[in-house]
Amino acid sequence: MTQHLVRTARRDRLAVPPTRGRLHALVGGRRRPRRIAMLSVHTSPLHQPGTGDAGGMNVYIVELAKRLAALDIEVEVFTRAISSDDAPTVELAPGVLVRHVTAGPFEGLLKEDLPAQLCAFTHAVLRTEAGHRPGHYDLVHSHYWLSGHVGWLAAERWGVPLVHTMHTMAKVKNAALAEGDTPEPAARVIGETQVVEAADRLIANTAEEAAELAFHYGARPEQLAVVHPGVNLEVFRPGDRAAARARLGLPQDAAVLLFAGRIQPLKAPDVLLKAVARLLERRPELRERLVVPVVGGPSGSGLARPESLHKLAAQLGIADVVRFHPPVGQARLAEWYRAATALVMPSHSESFGLVALEAQACGTPVVAAAVGGLPVAVQGGVTGTLVDGHDPDAWAHALEAYVTDPALVARYGAAAARHAAAFGWSASAATTADVYAGALAARGGARRRLA
């Protein structure tokens, strides 16, 4: 059943062509929503990715919402306010409104504390809808399991479909825990199971994720749709590496192995540092030109020991080659990608790995763990290298080729830019719009059968 599911999901994904500009009100003869409520309880699309709970999901919501608005689907994003300075509503882009919901104290709440605030959050969402004429929202799209619980109740109250995107799953993360990391609690597993049962449609980033939803959570084939995330090809594009290095203060002849993302055990930046130490043990002459920038901030269980990576660099004797930088905006991040010899992603789990696409769009190859969606985002042996496991020696061996072979970097980098160009957000939004239309059609068909 799972193999059939994966093949069907891939075929449906490929059957939807990339779309530019505006679409008609019908998709494949089915009605699209006019306005959707998009839920992101624990992190706002306005937050800077790379620290705290802000990461790829934030980018996903921003880019998807903008492209849906370009298809005449209005999007209102509900997210929890974390400051009294947060305006009640913020226009993110034409057709995209962010609503800040007061649910619990503004500060001092961890993501793990938020289940206790879901009642207050749901009340605010329902109250907002009640201030409009009936039928204000045609559909609910929730992101992450906490939002799924709010979406479950809102969709049922309004009589509209619930579309849900997991982004990460507790059972998958727990099966690939980093050393010393904290397992996801049983309450999350139960919550995710309930959301899967309630959703009309489940959007998975890859066919593998769709199969995991079926295997771990009993998702039904008719619920599942595969929509690959995209990349902003206007921001992330090839450029002048020498100029990027000059602007970032990097030596022109450096071998730059970049880590970009949240600093937490799940993302395994420690594997990169250990691999660099092993590489320098074997090839000490590389120390003169090796630079390892870590661009990001502590997140998740990494918040408990925010200086642990600095201490590890010192213990390994590589503090002179590792440079720590705070998270940056997309334009600056694109400069880091262009300046890098390779992006390194040793993650223990990734539902997709948006930064891998971003780096490749800038013409930079990627060395990534062969986990989750990374084998889809990265073409091993073509646009980068996929590494099995997290053994530092294996990673050192993989990285050595990039540090010592400029021709390989150039060849993979050119292929990476071509590969990433196929992952525009417009195509992702068009496919998502079709998922919405299918959910509305199925809900309408169910009503007619009951009538």
pLDDT digits (tens, 9 = 90+) for 362-402: 999 999 999 999 999 999 999 999 999 999 999 999 999 99
- Does residue 351 fall inside a structural domain? yes
**Average pLDDT score over residue span 346-367:** 95
Taking the CA atoms of 407, 411, 412 and 413 in sequence, report the sign of the dihedral they define. positive
168 or 450: whose pLDDT is higher? 168
Position 304 pLDDT exceeds 60: no
Whole-number average pLDDT of the chain: 89
Ligand-binding site membership of 144 (annotated): yes
Ligand-binding site membership of 443 (annotated): no
Q: Each residue of 426-436: pLDDT tens digit?
A: 999 999 999 99
Q: Return the minimum-mean-pLDDT range out of 2-16, 58-72, 190-204, 274-288.
A: 2-16
Ligand-binding site membership of 390 (annotated): no
Q: Return the minimum-mean-pLDDT range out of 11-15, 176-180, 427-431.
A: 11-15
- Six-digit token pair at 404? 């010592």
Ligand-binding site membership of 56 (annotated): yes
Ligand-binding site membership of 85 (annotated): no
Ligand-binding site membership of 49 (annotated): yes
Position 443 pLDDT exceeds 90: no
Question: Is the domain of 82 the same as that of 173?
Answer: yes
- Does residue 262 fall inside a structural domain? yes
Question: Is the domain of 266 the same as that of 360?
Answer: yes
Question: Is the domain of 149 the same as that of 293?
Answer: no
Note whether 359 and 343 are within 8 A (CB).
yes
- Does residue 109 fall inside a structural domain? yes
Question: Is the domain of 249 the same as that of 144?
Answer: no
Ligand-binding site membership of 57 (annotated): yes
Total domains in the chain come to 2
Note whether 120 and 103 are within 8 A (CB).
yes
Domain extent at residue 388:
241-420
One-character DSSP codes across 197-237: HH-SEEEESSHHHHHHHHHHH---GGGEEE----B-TTTS-
Say which CATH number the domain at 217 has: 3.40.50.2000
**Average pLDDT score over residue span 82-86:** 86
Ligand-binding site membership of 267 (annotated): yes
Ligand-binding site membership of 262 (annotated): yes
Local structure of 4: helix, strand or coil: helix
Ligand-binding site membership of 436 (annotated): no
Amino acid identity for residue 53 in this structure: D
Note whether 387 and 346 are within 8 A (CB).
yes
Question: Is the domain of 287 the same as that of 351?
Answer: yes
- Six-digit token pair at 236? 């992330």
Question: Is the domain of 252 the same as that of 224?
Answer: no
- Six-digit token pair at 408? 């390989």
Residues 6 or more apart in contact with residue 204 via CB below 8 angstroms: 9, 165, 166, 210, 212, 213, 224, 225, 226, 227
Ligand-binding site membership of 239 (annotated): no
Greatest CA separation found in the chain? Answer: 77
Residues 6 or more apart in contact with residue 243 via CB below 8 angstroms: none
Ligand-binding site membership of 328 (annotated): yes
Residues 6 or more apart in contact with residue 20 via CB below 8 angstroms: 426
- Does residue 236 fall inside a structural domain? no
Ligand-binding site membership of 244 (annotated): no
**Average pLDDT score over residue span 359-363:** 98
- Six-digit token pair at 153? 């109740």
Taking the CA atoms of 245, 251, 253 and 254 in sequence, report the sign of the dihedral they define. negative
Q: Which helix (H) or strand (E) element contains residue 14?
A: helix 2-14
Phi then psi for residue 240, to 5 deg, are: -80, 110
Note whether 369 and 387 are within 8 A (CB).
yes
Question: Is the domain of 282 the same as that of 382?
Answer: yes
Ligand-binding site membership of 55 (annotated): yes
- Does residue 451 fall inside a structural domain? no
Position 9 pLDDT exceeds 70: no
Report pLDDT for 120: 95
Q: What is the DSSP letter of 115?
A: G
Ligand-binding site membership of 166 (annotated): no
Question: Distances in Å between the alpha carbon of 38 and those of 151, 377, 408?
Answer: 9, 25, 43
Question: Is the domain of 48 the same as that of 196?
Answer: yes
Report pLDDT for 17: 34
- Prediction pTM value: 0.85
Note whether 42 and 146 are within 8 A (CB).
yes
- Does residue 280 fall inside a structural domain? yes
Ligand-binding site membership of 340 (annotated): yes
d(CA 36, CA 388): 40
- Does residue 120 fall inside a structural domain? yes
**Average pLDDT score over residue span 91-97:** 97
**Average pLDDT score over residue span 52-74:** 89
Report pLDDT for 299: 58
Question: Is the domain of 431 the same as that of 400?
Answer: no
Note whether 45 and 78 are within 8 A (CB).
no
**Residue with the two structure tokens 């390892």:** 292
Question: Is the domain of 190 the same as that of 254?
Answer: no
Question: Is the domain of 392 the same as that of 431?
Answer: no
Question: Is the domain of 213 the same as that of 315?
Answer: no
- Does residue 399 fall inside a structural domain? yes
